[in-house]
Amino acid sequence: MKTKKDVTIYDIAQKLALSSATVSRALQDHPAINKNTKKRVQEAARELGYRHNTFASSLRKQTTNTIGVIVHELNSNFITSVLAGIEKVTTEADMI
């Protein structure tokens, strides 16, 4: 059985005859990329089934924006309110 290969920015770039850097910037909504090019890239990405690979991006950037929390027990009202506060702050900071 053959597994389906994930679509990459290189696949989109090849389809549209653009550089992979242009495709990457267009997908990140970079202001230096023409809006018509952005539209073409986004349409091609949708058509090909492109999905952003957060794991690969984290490897390239060498950062994950991951917060680890070790708690002794979860049945404490204090701990659950602390975790809720962490979730609220990270969501507002667009980390989640």
9-61 has CATH 1.10.10.10 classification: no
Query: Contact 79/43 with Cβ under 8 angstroms?
Result: no
Q: What is the pLDDT of residue 12?
A: 96
How far apart, in whole angstroms, are the C-alpha atoms of residue 37 and residue 29?
A: 10
Q: What is the pLDDT of residue 1?
A: 55
Q: What is the pLDDT of residues 57-78, one digit of tens each?
A: 888 888 887 888 898 888 888 9
Query: Contact 9/24 with Cβ under 8 angstroms?
Result: yes
Q: What is the pLDDT of residue 58?
A: 84
Reported pTM: 0.62
In the predicted model, residues of the chain with pLDDT beneath 70 are 1-3, 95-96
Q: What is the pLDDT of residue 3?
A: 59
Give the number of other CB atoms < 10 A from CB of residue 96: 11
